[in-house]
Amino acid sequence: MDYRTLGRTDINVSLICLGTMTWGSQNSEAEAHEQLDYAVAQGVNFIDTAEGYPVTPVSADTQFLTETYIGNWIAQRGKRDDIVLATKVSGPSRDPIRKFRGGNHRLDRRNILQAVDDSLTRLKTDYIDLYQVHWPDRPVPSFGRRGIATIEDTAETVSIEETLSALAELVQAGKVRQIGLSNETPWGVSEYLRLSRDAGLPRVASIQNAYNLLNRTFEIGLSEFALREDVGLLAYSPLAGGNLTGKYLGGVIPAGSRRDVSRQFVRYDLPNQAVASARYVAIAHAFGLDPAQMALAFVNAQPFVTSNIIGATSLEQLRTDIASIDIRLTSEQLAAIEDVHRLIPDPCP
């Protein structure tokens, strides 16, 4: 396993991070624990979750189960100090099912202080290594929405300064070691860094955004922040919702797959997705590579990536994904990938 430094901290995290978004819906607690055991045995020390998981699909019946499963594993295995544990606080949501703290879950002080205590209880730990803002309080282009034409803040929109000040309280109290962002924009990262400098507030260590062969928009504005300011990318959806494995080609939807059980995920249901996916899968086959491992190896190789968040619903998938750490793409393979990217750039932002 390879390890990289989390931002400007003294924390080293595995280049492969174990994502947990399906635990509690597509995966049972026993399967979650099996994945944790296997990943840790392979050198994975970075575990990412959220109070909003599982989301495949979103359900009031399964809400909070993912953190609960991880907390039970920590209590049973006694390996809390062997892992870097990351979770997230949810911002406001229009989803009628997703309700936190009475449904008024803004990124204000009250919500953040309560959210972290609730997560600590479920995770059965007294500290979180990386506490992330799952998505901004203000309306931004995210989860497939491209661009912003107007500012849509309202009177209820919580300022970044209030959010960061609340996170600072958690760091001072010892409940959180480091803080991070997710689904954030270049302006948002810049504002968090400005407030850190000007107001003496904690510095963000990372940003967790989507990054894969179908969506390389992180490279346009955020990669410079990652490289110059050490706000490294924790890349989520590196397989583009499974599309880069090739299993959905030809309109096939395997039983039990994410597309089968989570119809709300339409981020990758765009016109050029299937064409681009087919071309990337063909490149992998032409070079004798597993398509999933090629897609993951591409993410692993990026200098602005701190960790690549993989997610699996089976142990077989997990083995394949973690093994991508051993693949180094050649210049010829990378050139073939770039040829497709130039022809069909970012079909699924």
* Residues noted as catalytic: 53
Reference 226, options 266, 186, 255; nearest CA is: 186
Amino acid occupying residue 223 = S
Q: What letters, b where the CB count within 10 A reaches 16 and e where it falls short, cover 8-23?
A: ebebebbbbbbbbbbb
Pairwise CA distance, residues 274 & 104, whole Å: 38
**Cis bond before residue 54 (omega within 30° of 0):** yes
Q: How many CB atoms lie within 10 A of CB 181?
A: 25
Q: Are 72 and 110 in contact (CB under 8 A)?
A: no
Residue entry with tokens 């920590």: 74
**Helix, strand, coil share of the chain (percent; to 5):** 40, 15, 45
Q: Are 15 and 45 in contact (CB under 8 A)?
A: no
